[in-house]
Structure formats: C-alpha cells, structure tokens
Amino acid sequence: MRARTTAVLAVAALVAAAALALSGCSASPAGTSTPSAADSGPTTSGRLTVYAAASLQTAFDEIAAAFTAANPDVTIDPIDYDGSSTLVTQIEGGAEVDVFASADQANMQKLVDAKLATGETPVFATNTLVVVVGKGNPLHLSSLKDLADPSVQTVLCAAGVPCGTAAHRLLDLAGVTLTPVSEEQNVTAVLTKVESGEADAGIVYSTDAKDAADKVDSFVPPASEVDVGKVVNQYPITVLDGAKHRDVAQAFIDFVTGSQGQSILADLGFGTRSN
C-alpha cells in the first residue's frame, strides 16, 4: 500500500515536472484568441506579435496599452523583451514576428542583410548611457575610471548586445579598460545585478536608470572624462517581411513614431524625433 502511494506520488511529481517543462517551452500564453481579422476594418484589427529591445520594456508596455485602447479590435501578444541580438537570433531562426524594435542599428542591419526586413526602418528614439550604482552610492563612485578599480564589481552587457557595444565604445572613448565580473545578454540583467546588490556598478541606458530610480542611483560620467553625447543609441523599428498583419503592424509603428508614442517615450527619458 505504501509502495503504491509512493509510486503515485512519483508519477504525480513527474507529471508536474513535465507540465512545468512544457509550459516553459511555449513562448506565448494560450490566452484569449481574437477572431480573424479577415472580414473587419482596414487597419485596426488583428493580432500583433512584437519583439522589442529590453530597454524598451516600460515604454512599449505603455505604448501597447495606449495603442490597444485606441484600437480595441487589436490584440498585442505580451511583448517579448530581450537583448536585441538575442531577438535577432530568434527572428533569424524563424520566430513569427510582426514588429521588431532594436536598440541599435547594427542588430537591425543583420535582419536587413538577411532579407528578413526589407521595408523602412525609421528611428523612433535615442538613448544614452549612465552608470548605475547601489542606492546611496556606497562606494562613492563618480567616474568610469572608478569602475576600473579591481575592488569594484562592474557588470556590462556583452559586446554585440547594443548596451554592450555602446558601453565598450564609451569606455574606449574615455580610455578606460575594465574587466567586468559578468557580461549579460540584455540590459535588464545588468540592472538586476546592481539592484540586487550583487554588483557594485553597471553601465545601462539613462532610461533604465530613471525607471529604476527607487532602487538604484546613477550618474553621468563627468564631461572631463568623456562626452556621453558621442555614444548615442539609435532605436530603429520595422515591419518584418514575414509579418502576418502588415497593416496593423504598420499602424503600430505609426503610433510609436506619432505624437502619442513619442510623448510616452519622451516622458521616460528617451530622445525622440522632435528633440
């Protein structure tokens, strides 16, 4: 009898583990499905899949909410946020995506070169870098040179990830060489390591620092060291050639580059088309 119970428990545990594994595999939840867009209005109904750079998370969640509020027949799947380079790899691997927003031109160019995005790639926002440190700046860091101190644990994005490419350019311009204790695949991971206190400092976008201002402090490297204005990330956005709902995708991009989208981005600290 006891053996039976144990066996049943073991099977239950295995089933639970399998269920966990399976749910981890599906990228988007099987939530509400909207009726097909075939028979409705010209541009305002359908279902969109959006991939966006990790640094756009707060902005695009707000923009998506505003866009679907204005176009109630449109459903946007929960947006997939990750390092632009990771998202590009997934799109190259065949991910079905309508809209892609990159944190730099280099990663967008990979899709253009691969003939996966042959349409327009308008730049809708810009961003610059800051140094994030623990709340209260316990180590009194104030320059990039301070980060190079071996006792300071600095985390960067990996080279190739937009925030990493930009951080390395900034360090090069400042003539500072440092060995990061970890190189992350997206900017959120850098921020998390500083927020949790595991790392002392990280180089992230000014918008990330602003967004997390209740958990971290930040500073702009002094002008005497480097002009942060020389390293500006341009964020391009595009409708992918494989998009299922090209018209809705274009409407979303028009919304991002339009006044409402731009004002959301500006409020969060992004450089926008007007400034």
Partner 1 sequence: MNSHRYRQGPPVWAAVPAVVALAFLVLPLLALAGRADWTTFWSDISSQESLQSLWLSIWTAALSTIVCAVLGLPLAVFIAGLGPRWAAVLRAVTTIPLLLPPMVGGVALLYLLGRNGWLGRSFEAWGWQIPFTSGAVVVAESFVALPFLVIAAESAIRALDRELLDAAATMGASSWQTFRSVTVPIAGPAIAAGLTLTFARAMGEFGATALFAGNAQGVTRTMPLAIYTAFNGAGTTQAAAIAMSLVLFVVALAVLVAARAWRVDSVH
Q: Which of 66, 95, 173, 181 binds partner 1 (CB under 8 A)?
A: 181
Minimum CB distance to partner 1, residue 220 (Å): 25
**Burial zone of 16 (CB within 10 Å; 0-12 exposed, 13-18 middle, 19+ buried):** exposed
- Per-residue binding string, partner 1, 83-122, x by CB under 8 A, is x-xx-xx-----------------x--x------------
137: Cα within 13 Å, side-chain hemisphere: 12
Sole window of 46-54, 63-71, 155-163, 218-226 interacting with partner 1 (rule: CB under 8 A): 155-163
Judged by beta carbon, residue 21 or residue 38, the one nearer partner 1 is 21
Please identify which residue in 179, 224, 274, 275 interacts with partner 1, judged by CB under 8 A.
179
Asked if 16 touches partner 1 (CB under 8 A), the answer is: yes
Q: Which stretch binds partner 1 (CB under 8 A): 63-71, 182-190, 230-238, 258-266?
A: 182-190
The least CB distance from residue 116 to partner 1, in Å, is 14
Among residues 102 and 250, whose Cβ is nearest to partner 1?
Answer: 102
Mark 184-223 with x for binding to partner 1 (rule: CB under 8 A) and - for no binding.
xx-------x--xxxx------------------------
Residues that bind partner 1 (CB under 8 A): 2, 6, 13, 16-17, 20-21, 24, 83, 85-86, 88-89, 107, 110, 153, 155, 157-161, 164, 179-185, 193, 196-199
